Amino acid sequence: MQLDLAGVPVVITGAASGIGRACAIAFAAEGARVAGIDRSPVDVPGVVGLSADVTDEAALAAAVARASEVLGGIAVVVACAGTSGPFGAAVDEISLEDWNRVLAVNVTGQFLLVKHALPHLRRAESAAIVLMGSDSGFVAAPGMTPYNASKGAVVQLTRALSVDLAPIRVTCVCPSIVDTPMARRDLGLESFDGVGYPVQSAADVARSVLYLASPATTAVNGTTLVSDFGYLARSSFPA
């Protein structure tokens, strides 16, 4: 399939590792002009690295403006910066600070990226926004209340933005467990080999993002793409 992303200016948050880094690599391989924003150094060949915390509005706005300057505009934004927050914590053990941090990164950070990229996207011939959700926006893993709530908010944020920003397309990718440094750390694993449940790679998720960001999906807007090996489709009926 021809994705027609060559020369397209793309901004990706969370580009230093995990899904964000995989997206930066994938877009660059398609010939897109890519800027990656992260608190940590972005080390991807052919990708412009910019430093900002997505919860710091002034810093993020400056990074987005700089990205537009370097890339010659912005036509696609991909919001990959995220955090899992407290893992395995009971509700009455979750501090307000931890709750606020998860919502700030996973929801407000995506909103702020869109807010400050919007003037640039409106000047693009065909603009697209891809938010990073999770299957946790539909089902809830125990001990992850802030994360589950934040990803549910991202699913609805996708719908709301698609209504308010048309004709700019807004979609969301919602993967199940992805082999990333954050997931390994949360689960205390050196690797996912032999875990007994399906795990996708960050590159798998990046391919979904490429598709939704490309002109191949010009009629797709306001929806989520769940990549969970079919888990949500299964009935609870014991048969």
Annotation marks residue 231 as catalytic: no
Q: Which is the catalytic residue, given 147, 197, 211, 231?
A: 147
List 77's β-bridge partners, or say none.
11, 129
Tokens of 223: 């929806």
Tokens of 67: 């990205």
* 67 Cβ neighbours under 8 A, 6+ residues apart: 9, 11, 35, 37, 48, 50, 74
Residues 41, 137: Cα–Cα separation, whole Å: 29
Look up residue 10 and give its amino acid: V
Residues 172, 212: Cα–Cα separation, whole Å: 8
Catalytic residues: 147
